[in-house]
Structure 1
Amino acid sequence: MADPFNMENVTEAVPVTNPQDHGWGDKVPYDYDSYAKTSKELAEENEARANNGDEAAAHYAGAVGGVKVGEWHNNAAVYEWDDEYGDVGPEFPELERQLFGSEFHVKSGIDFQKLSTIKVVQEGEIRINPIFSFKDAGLHPVMLRNVELAGYEIPTPIQQYCLPAVFKGYDVVACAQTGSGKTAAFLIPTLSKLMGKAKKLCAPRPNPAKFQEGITDPVRAEPLICIVVPSRELATQIFDEARRFCYRSMLRPCVVYGGGPIREQIHQLQKGCDVLIGTPGRLVDFINRPHILTLKRLKYMIIDEADEIVGANWEDQMKTIMSGGDQEEGNINYLMFSATFPKQARQLAKEHLAMNHLRIRVGRAGSTHVNIKQEIIHVDPALKRTALQQYLLSMPPARTIIFVNSRRSADELDDFLFNSAFPCTSIHSDRTQREREDSIRAFRTGKTPILIATGVSARGLDIHNVMAVINFDLPSPMYGGIEEYCHRIGRTGRIGNTGVAMSFFTARDEDLAPSLVKFLLETHHPIPDFLAHHIPEGFDASGEGNADLLDFEDDSDVEEENKPEENGNQDEASNNVDGQGDNSWNINPAEGQSSKDAPEEPKVNSENLW
């Protein structure tokens, strides 16, 4: 594990090896001719070539996950509700294939059961009975069918607690490991709860069956759900999930983000918007245009990757978004999700969430799960590219994300691998939005299965079959440290799938070493010899020891005397902890929550709140 390629003894150049001889596909140059064309021109060209028998063009003429090549992601296909439909819309097989095809999203893996053994902690005085089956969760029939189409069989630990909490009307602060199903944990219950009342709650909109561009009067977007995320890539990814879970319902999702065409985003909003996903800057832009967007109908405000948002100098934007302009006071539920919760995020929760909000931890905040095999090798900085080349040639070809610490490094490493004949692409914040979307699409479809990225640009990416993550540069403690490491390796091993995380360690990474060793010990990984001097007392180099002895930075303001209740996923977890019994939280179709289980104001020590 310490040095599988004997990097320290490399004294001569590695023989030139063709990656294609090792199973990698051909390198793919970026098509700047296509980039110079409009979305419409590119789509028409591909369609014309496909009609003339060009098989390659036929592939690109079709929509991948509802998005055609050259098309902006905010224009991706959604289920358009016709006023003539009854309570449930009809099926559309082609759209269903685009939304739920196995190549377009992550389904639970063979090691999913390992996630069910993770300890769940409920902090504060509120207690929730978990659910252990989607069929017993009281979901709207349309949502239950969409969950089945998405391939979700068993709720993950975070979903087991969030679904009943949302149905009961609680505000939620949830801290769970990366790849544990947080997105579905907030989309499934919020959308399901609104589906039965959509005709009553949704704002008026033009009938898509009769909509004519430039003739039909546009409407103002009045979303019921607003989801705030830190990055454009995460925004489009959650938009994809929302498109799936809104299938065959009246709820219409939209996404807005910087760098994309604002006119096209306005056009989508003016068709009607019930679920709005966006980045802070673009959301504030539209909130300041009340003729385009109002939050007066808002029912749910959801903050995803809260730690990244509060740490990215978006304080002013978040104040505007959380105040919501003209939204009705007390009519909104707030949900905050993240893999880590620093004090700034907890302060945001204090300011906006109800006193009796539910606080849930799945595993230790900032931890990762055992489905990810972590490997650390010591590499001389001058030989890192050689080590990377050898590692890529030694592994089975698979979707791989390589993390670097700077935009310049991303460009340079992209050039190096491309000139070494590897099929690669890269993303970072200096790329145009069109380039970023094209790169993610090429990576998602396997056209370029190697993606080089900076940490922030890949935050929250959830892509099918990412088998390996490589930390070409480890994050320094000044720029995220072990929390950033956690987010990075969480791009693999998602929802019960397995993955490998390889990291190159150099002398510059010594400041990260103590935290890294604790992180490895927590998941029972052996410690390489060059990090052995950081092993804490009570452990050996094989990774065996008492995990309770590991001293991680506390991420809770809860006083020691108010110890949280721990909930495993055993039968006793469904005991009557909230005084209602196993099935008492089932939804009253008329009110959306059980009348006997409406949130009460418990006596809470405000000094102990997050």
Structure 2
Amino acid sequence: MQRFHVCSGYLQLGRSSISKFKSCSPTVPKLDRACRFHFGVFFKSEVKPQVLTGDDYPRQRSPGRSRDEEGFVGSFEGHRGRPPLTGGGMPDRMGNLGQNLRQLNWEEESLVKLQKNFYDEHPEVASMTSEQVAAAFKALNANVEGRKPHPRPVMSFDHLSLADDLLQAVRSTFDRPTPIQSMGWPTALSGRDMVGIAQTGSGKTLAYLLPALVHIAAQPSLSPGDGPVGLVLAPTRELANQIHAEVMRFTEGSRIRSTAVFGGVPRYGQAADLRRGVEILIATPGRLLDFLEAGTTNLKRITYLTLDEADRMLDMGFEPQIRKVVSQIRPDRQTLMWSATWPKEIQRLARDFCREDPIKLTIGTEELSLNPNITQQIEVVGEFDKRDRFMSWIKSVAAEEDIKVLVFTETKRGADSLCRELQYQNLSANAIHGDKEQRQRDKTLHDFKTGRCNILIATDVAQRGLDIKDVAFVVNYDVPKTLEDYIHRIGRTARGGAKGTAVTFFPADAYTPDMIRMARAIGKAMRDVGQAPPKELLDLGGSRR
């Protein structure tokens, strides 16, 4: 009786054939054709089957390539023990990136003269009494810590000495400074290192971007071969793209050039921008390290460093890459860190990266909290009725013109399925998730922002970092796993002081510990902002308080 056994080997990334095999037995005949499957090759033989483990596969990761890029070969590394967690988040996925970077001796480097303080306090701000300052802090729900003197809040755009065109662009975005801008602008413009703790949608991008443009414009012009002057590190390509769009809007017609570098797209255009020279660079850590190792650019001219969504970057396991990037930046730089929370990992990062005792600005609480401008609706519905209930709801909402709806699903397949059904119902819908090519994702987001498509179905790839100011509704078609994800999802609406609505379809028949925990957490979060959770949700959580 003939039996089959597996011959161990591995797939060469990007090729359909198997490039290497280790012979399992000298009795195995050489076959011209073999049945090739995902994890090996099956041969006719008279020998016993060989059971494969992860240790039977060669581990050949190329330096500078992420686990995601390694694909098949890298997927077996978990069998030999997982890499250490960094920052309390995910494993370091790109541990080899940056290992070939040269350690710089800044005493031997020829550095341009640095100017950091550009803040000229307006007379109305300077004349504020301590009682008026305290009242302003209370009105802004702001707290300031760190080395004195502490900044006085800027309550009006007229209190800033800005160029007319820049001031006009700012006024077109906000009616008045948001709390984080009121406190962040005088701090950053004075050249102080700072940590900003504020929730999503608080206007923090402009809080660090406007001082960055003032800072960069005052520095000596770039010479051939120079790297950028300002650097913004972001956790995702979507956020990097969004920040770059804001930079281009505020630098139109100026001498300040910018680019964004991130994975998922070809390097050539990004590399060309870096070689031509840019004053401000927005980057994800992995792609930036690739360019640094290749010598495409350098960071010796960086004097204004911003870490946006630092807590998210640590959650994603980017701390080693961030540290490698910062090691290439002159130590007398100005450093700004922005986060929604203040965990110990962020505190440690602030101590390591900020040269002086930084100003710490907190708007609201250091804990993640809900935006009270978001009206939360919880629909407790059975799994079999959920699709019909959702379709009925979305049709009533989509009947209104210029209404943007962002829908979150748990899986990529679920996002595509829901998108197809909406399109079948003649509704303008698109889906975005990690399996989409970057070009397609960019087009989908552009269509949603410009109103060509008014319904966007997304996985959690869009739960943080996307700043689409006129999203009227956020829908949790599938309930997120954690309260943090819930807060970040619904935080895509009611941005920049606007109002919004979040609708969550909560399963009525899911009595798992995770769902019970989420029911209780959402109920408490609603009560914290003065909203009453529905009776059905309280019943699921076992609480009627």
Q: TM-score, normalised by structure 1?
A: 0.62
CA contact (8 A) 2:519 2:540 kept: yes
Tell me, yes or no, if structure 1 residue 203 matches structure 2 residue 203: no
Amino acid across the alignment from 2:357: N
Q: Equivalent residue for 1:57? A: none
Pick from 286, 294, 299: which aligns with 1:295? Answer: 299
| Shift, 1:535, TM fit | 9.2
CA contact (8 A) 2:303 2:330 kept: no
CA contact (8 A) 1:231 1:457 kept: no
Cα gap change, 1:354 to 1:514, in 2 (>3 Å): farther
Tell me, yes or no, if structure 1 residue 156 matches structure 2 residue 178: yes
Q: Equivalent residue for 1:254? A: 259
| Shift, 1:164, TM fit | 0.8
CA contact (8 A) 1:425 1:452 kept: yes
CA contact (8 A) 1:221 1:269 kept: no
Cα gap change, 1:409 to 1:136, in 2 (>3 Å): same
Q: Equivalent residue for 2:75? A: none
**Deviation digits for residues 566-607 of structure 1 (CA, Å, limit 9, x no counterpart):** xxxxxxxxxxxxxxxxxxxxxxxxxxxxxxxxxxxxxxxxxx
Helix, strand or coil at the partner of 2:531: coil
CA contact (8 A) 2:181 2:203 kept: yes
Cα gap change, 1:118 to 1:392, in 2 (>3 Å): farther
Q: Equivalent residue for 2:383? A: 381
Large movers: runs of 4+ above 6 Å = 534-537
| Shift, 1:299, TM fit | 1.0
| Shift, 1:118, TM fit | 4.6
Equivalent-residue separation in structure 2 for 1:466 and 1:343 (angstroms): 33
Tell me, yes or no, if structure 1 residue 128 matches structure 2 residue 133: no
Tell me, yes or no, if structure 1 residue 356 matches structure 2 residue 362: no
Ranges in structure 1 where 5+ consecutive residues have no aligned partner:
1-114, 205-218, 542-610
Q: Equivalent residue for 1:322? A: 326
Residues matched between the structures, number: 399
> What does 1:359-370 correspond to in 2, within 5 Å?
359-364=360-365, 365-370=367-372
Amino acid across the alignment from 2:341: T
Q: Equivalent residue for 2:520? A: 514
| Shift, 1:534, TM fit | 8.8
Q: Equivalent residue for 1:137? A: 160
Equivalent-residue separation in structure 2 for 1:279 and 1:444 (angstroms): 23
Pick from 390, 393, 407: which aligns with 1:391? Answer: 393
Tell me, yes or no, if structure 1 residue 445 matches structure 2 residue 464: no
Tell me, yes or no, if structure 1 residue 119 matches structure 2 residue 141: yes
* Larger strand fraction of residues: 2
| Shift, 1:193, TM fit | 3.0
Equivalent-residue separation in structure 2 for 1:138 and 1:282 (angstroms): 36
Equivalent-residue separation in structure 1 for 2:429 and 2:138 (angstroms): 35
CA contact (8 A) 1:253 1:276 kept: yes
Pick from 420, 423, 429: which aligns with 1:424? Answer: 429
| Shift, 1:338, TM fit | 2.3
> What does 1:222-241 correspond to in 2, within 5 Å?
222-241=227-246
Larger gyration radius, structure 1 or structure 2: 2
Q: Equivalent residue for 1:341? A: 342
CA contact (8 A) 2:449 2:468 kept: yes
Amino acid across the alignment from 1:385: R
Amino acid across the alignment from 1:295: L
| Shift, 1:282, TM fit | 1.0
Equivalent-residue separation in structure 1 for 2:461 and 2:138 (angstroms): 29
Amino acid across the alignment from 2:280: V
CA contact (8 A) 1:306 1:341 kept: no
| Shift, 1:467, TM fit | 0.7
| Shift, 1:444, TM fit | 1.4
CA contact (8 A) 2:463 2:485 kept: no
CA contact (8 A) 2:463 2:488 kept: no
Equivalent-residue separation in structure 2 for 1:187 and 1:413 (angstroms): 37
Equivalent-residue separation in structure 2 for 1:518 and 1:353 (angstroms): 36
Q: Equivalent residue for 2:315? A: 311
Equivalent-residue separation in structure 1 for 2:138 and 2:244 (angstroms): 27
Fraction of identical pairs, as percent: 35
Equivalent-residue separation in structure 1 for 2:444 and 2:470 (angstroms): 16
Q: Equivalent residue for 1:590? A: none
| Shift, 1:483, TM fit | 1.6
Pick from 528, 533, 544: which aligns with 1:527? Answer: 533
CA contact (8 A) 1:143 1:192 kept: no
Amino acid across the alignment from 1:380: G
| Shift, 1:525, TM fit | 0.8
Pick from 269, 278, 283: which aligns with 1:278? Answer: 283
Q: Equivalent residue for 2:200? A: 178
| Shift, 1:438, TM fit | 1.4
Amino acid across the alignment from 2:475: I
| Shift, 1:300, TM fit | 1.4
Q: Equivalent residue for 1:73? A: none
Equivalent-residue separation in structure 2 for 1:188 and 1:161 (angstroms): 13
| Shift, 1:460, TM fit | 1.4
Equivalent-residue separation in structure 1 for 2:187 and 2:305 (angstroms): 15
| Shift, 1:189, TM fit | 1.4
| Shift, 1:256, TM fit | 0.9
| Shift, 1:536, TM fit | 12
CA contact (8 A) 1:429 1:457 kept: no
Helix, strand or coil at the partner of 2:461: coil
Equivalent-residue separation in structure 1 for 2:541 and 2:423 (angstroms): 39
Equivalent-residue separation in structure 2 for 1:123 and 1:503 (angstroms): 37
Cα gap change, 1:503 to 1:245, in 2 (>3 Å): same
Amino acid across the alignment from 2:486: Y
Helix, strand or coil at the partner of 1:474: coil
Amino acid across the alignment from 2:259: C
Helix, strand or coil at the partner of 1:377: strand
CA contact (8 A) 2:228 2:299 kept: yes
| Shift, 1:430, TM fit | 1.4
Q: Equivalent residue for 1:63? A: none
Cα gap change, 1:423 to 1:519, in 2 (>3 Å): same
| Shift, 1:320, TM fit | 1.4
CA contact (8 A) 2:216 2:279 kept: no
**Deviation digits for residues 401-458 of structure 1 (CA, Å, limit 9, x no counterpart):** 0011222222222223223332111111111111111111111122221111112334
Helix, strand or coil at the partner of 1:426: strand
Helix, strand or coil at the partner of 1:288: helix
**Deviation digits for residues 191-238 of structure 1 (CA, Å, limit 9, x no counterpart):** 12332x24x2x312xxxxxxxxxxxxxx53511111111111111110
| Shift, 1:533, TM fit | 5.8
| Higher-RCO chain (CA-CA 8 Å, sequence separation at least 6) | 1
Cα gap change, 1:450 to 1:254, in 2 (>3 Å): same
CA contact (8 A) 2:192 2:359 kept: yes
Cα gap change, 1:340 to 1:406, in 2 (>3 Å): farther
CA contact (8 A) 2:195 2:350 kept: yes
Amino acid across the alignment from 2:193: D
RMSD between aligned residues: 2.3
Q: Equivalent residue for 1:411? A: 416
